[in-house]
A and B are shown apart, each in its own frame.
Chain A
Amino acid sequence: MIRINNLVQQYNDKLALDHVSATFPEHQTTAILGPSGSGKSTLLRALNLLEMPSKGTLKIGNDTAIDFDQPLTMPQILATRQQFGMVFQEKALFTHLTVRKNLTEGPIKVKKMSIKHANLTADRLLQQFNMTDLAERYPYQLSGGQQQRVAILRALAMQPKYLLLDEPTSALDPELEAQVLRILRDLASQKTSMIIVTHNMQFAKRVADQVLFLEAGQITYAGAAHEFFEAPNPRIQNFLSAMQF
């Protein structure tokens, strides 16, 4: 389980995260929802230290405890990041590497896996998600949906404890979006620990076990997903209707 306590992140005068506390259970999908600019992506990126909050604590299981009031060492940062896999909103595959090498670069360079083992892992993942024929292609030779599916596999190839997804389908058209969502639904049904920032309420309702609702850097709802979508709270109802849900 991940526990964050009183996370504060400030950009100039604006508080992006305003004393945010939450827990993210293992083997569940947590959806982080909220209006644009509410701090959803900042919160997600703070978990794997792509953003460095100025205050607060982060605990991952019993192994990792970070106090953001203290300066972090590079080994601490790298060890924390290795517990997460991340899928970005933009197409973030390494453009100079083939699909297979995108999947093996992290395991070989970071986890010191043998090339043979890393290739086997990559091939198994590609086979599992019916993408074997893409193995030798470069990212520019893939559609947007294929690129995001490969990005998910790249994150999974690192065998992370948690998969972080930052609006992974927002740049895709509906047909390509469906391909990506299908993989994520499969992962959710396999009880992969996922934390996802999304604007797709249908998808969130379908896969999320827990919802965190953020407004102006503060969590105003944290609880079971099915309760969130039935919540009588007028602010949440307004948000859901604005999202045409």
Chain B
Amino acid sequence: MSDFINLAIKYLPEILRAALFYTIPLTIISFTLAIIFAVITAVIRIMKLPKSPIIRLLTLIIKSMASFYVWLFRSTPMIVQLFIVFYGLPNAHITLFANAWVAAITVFSLNTGAYAAESIRAAITSVPAVQKEAAESLGMSPFQVYRHIILPQAARISIPPLSNSLISLLKDTSLASVITIVEMFYLSQQIAAENYKILSMYLLVALVYAAMTTILSIGQHYLERYTSRFIQ
């Protein structure tokens, strides 16, 4: 036990530094983008088809693209997506994702966005239809109806599944190690390879992950309490 404590004292600062400079920024940036993708995708997927033939066709194409995006990222493992984007695309002379950070953020945000889109879509459709009609009857534009009436109510419902997505994403950033980003899991691997304290190093990094996800869970609790102030 004392060995583990000594190891923790020695290596924890390095691991926390990796968390601060890699794991946390990767999580925050990717999740922010994921929520933007998710809201746009969810709204597109629940849009009704207009009567006008041309706009109807355009809407149908956009809805199909949104459905394809969700299907694509939910039907393949994230690690495969990372390999395709970081190693595969540059091989096909698409160099936009040759930077490991760009590749990681692209895959993490698109992948998490696909799952979050379904959570947000479910939350939006659970808001009673009369809320939308009441807002429309005041003369609100479709954007205003979503911005001011539907999304604030859907937010409360979507917090638990979105918190799950955030916690999963935080843990999944460890996959960035396979595309050369030295985040905290990759760092612990490197340290374990040097000092041969394999079990202790991996337990240490697991504890750091657990601490971070616990903080997120506490945040979720308070956020749920705040957004539930208007329900019984």
On whether the two chains bind one another, the answer is yes
- Of B52, B133, B138, B148, the residue contacting A71 (CB under 8 A) is B52
A229 CB within 8 Å of chain B: no
CA distance A85 to B229 in the complex (A): 28
B217 to chain A, nearest CB (A): 24
The dominant DSSP class at the B interface is helix
Q: Is the CB of B230 within 8 A of A96?
A: yes
CA distance A85 to B130 in the complex (A): 14
Given contacts A92-B130, A92-B134, A109-B148, contact A74 B141 (CB under 8 A): yes
A178 CB within 8 Å of chain B: no
* Chain B residues closer than 8 Å to A243, beta-carbon distance: none
Q: Is the CB of A140 within 8 A of B140?
A: no
- Binary B-proximity of A145-163 (CB < 8 A = 1, otherwise 0): 0000001001100100000
B64 CB within 8 Å of chain A: no
CB within 8 Å of B: which A188-216 residues:
none
- Binary A-proximity of B126-144 (CB < 8 A = 1, otherwise 0): 0010110111111111101
Closest to A97 in B: B230
Q: Is the CB of A95 within 8 A of B230?
A: yes
Q: Is the CB of B137 within 8 A of A48?
A: yes
Size class of the contact patch on chain B: 20 to 34
B152 CB within 8 Å of chain A: yes
A221 CB within 8 Å of chain B: no
Q: Is the CB of A50 within 8 A of B137?
A: yes
- Of B131, B136, B232, the residue contacting A94 (CB under 8 A) is B131
B231 CB within 8 Å of chain A: yes
- Binary A-proximity of B201-232 (CB < 8 A = 1, otherwise 0): 00000000000000000000000000001111
Q: Is the CB of A71 within 8 A of B137?
A: no
* Chain B residues closer than 8 Å to A81, beta-carbon distance: 136-139
Number of A-B contacts (CB under 8 A): 76
Closest to B138 in A: A106
B84 CB within 8 Å of chain A: no
A40 to chain B, nearest CB (A): 16
CA distance A154 to B140 in the complex (A): 14
CA distance A164 to B133 in the complex (A): 13
B48 to chain A, nearest CB (A): 11
Closest to A151 in B: B134
Most chain A Cβ neighbours within 10 Å, of B138, B139, B148: B138
CB within 8 Å of B: which A92-109 residues:
92-97, 105-106, 109
Q: Name B's A-contacting residues (CB within 8 A).
A: 51-52, 128, 130-131, 133-142, 144, 148-149, 152-153, 156, 229-232
Q: What are 20 A-B pairs at a CB distance below 8 A?
A: A74-B141, A78-B139, A79-B139, A81-B136, A81-B138, A82-B138, A84-B137, A85-B137, A88-B133, A88-B137, A90-B128, A91-B130, A94-B131, A94-B149, A96-B153, A105-B138, A105-B149, A106-B139, A138-B229, A151-B134
Counting from the closest, the 5 A-B pairs by CB-CB distance are: A82-B139, A106-B138, A86-B137, A92-B134, A81-B139
Knowing that A106-B138, A138-B230, A140-B230 touch, tell me 15 more A-B residue pairs with CB under 8 angstroms.
Answer: A71-B51, A79-B139, A81-B137, A81-B138, A88-B130, A94-B135, A94-B153, A95-B131, A95-B231, A96-B156, A106-B139, A110-B140, A138-B229, A155-B137, A158-B139
